[in-house]
Structure 1
Amino acid sequence: MTSRRQLIAAAAAACATPYASAFFSLGSSPRDISPTVAPEFAGIEKWLNSAPLRMADQQGKVVLIDFWTYTCINCLNHLPAVKSWHEKYKDKGLVTVGVHTPEFAYEKSTKNVRSAIERLGIQHAVAQDNSYATWRAFNNRYWPAIYLIDKKGKIVYNHFGEGRYQETEKTIQALLAQ
């Protein structure tokens, strides 16, 4: 018998491409995934709101990676939560990185991304991943997608799509407390 979660995962896989937005909520908790070492940022064309970051330099910190693009309504809907977590926890050891991976050609323009960052009031680091190198390194397939990396540099949580804001924040708090 196929479970609801298996059906959702199968539907997601069927429509998942580098250009597919997530219209539903998928995710996993630390219990659901085997921690794997977070890949380095790769092929970043431009860093905005930050000097270039390296994953290797984030040891001892909790890192939130948010794959997004500025025209994705799902990304815009979940952005207030990402901004809130950044503000609440940046001084407690959370590093927030928005990996802007374009869905459309005009989203590759640094001028357009910078304008969106200003318009949306984004204060955290934004990595412009026009070549999908970091996207592929994380084996990501959705916008928005959140990955939480623990203080040892391992991916311990992910969530695709909108929702699960309380669960994600509780996971951030637990990781910071470790």
Structure 2
Amino acid sequence: MGVRNLIARSDSELVVNQVNGGLQARGPRMELYLRCVQRLIGRFKEVRLECVPREKNSNANALAKMGSQQEAMLLGSIPLEIQEVPSIPELRVMQVDESPKEIWMTLILAYIHKGTLPEDKFKARRLHYQAARYVIYDEILYKRGFNQPLLRCVDEEEGNYILREVQREFLAITRGVARWK
């Protein structure tokens, strides 16, 4: 979206102070959330996180009260989603592979970054035309489309991960729909 300056508001004084550096995150899960937030903040020119007192945040406060009550009549009036899996990844130790893999994007990236073309004139011409449909934004390759947003290019491993996540969300949604009927 191109947003460079961001103001975020929260009624959690703990979260605001942890993100602003006033308090230290305790526990591995909170540290992961904090690192995730700090990584996202780095993408913006300026980020300001403000604490909103709960009494001035009546809409969120009312929604939280309704969600905490066990009355079926109230629970049916708002959609609730139980987060069974944390929104942050678990700590993983990954082995670093020294040799970069040759993937379908390698030639396109090399051409866009350095102007490198294959020796074969036919392949070079085809790559030149193909690369015109791609753009690099924030060091990520995207494919341009007609009358549609930029499409992020992914490798096979990331594509498999995306498909697994979509399937997991679909199953969670379908289970949730069955639960509310």
Higher relative helix content: 2
Query: Same fold by TM-score, threshold 0.5 exceeded?
Result: no
TM-score, with length taken from structure 2: 0.23
Higher relative strand content: 1
Relative contact order higher in (CA < 8 Å, ≥ 6 apart): 1
TM-score, with length taken from structure 1: 0.23
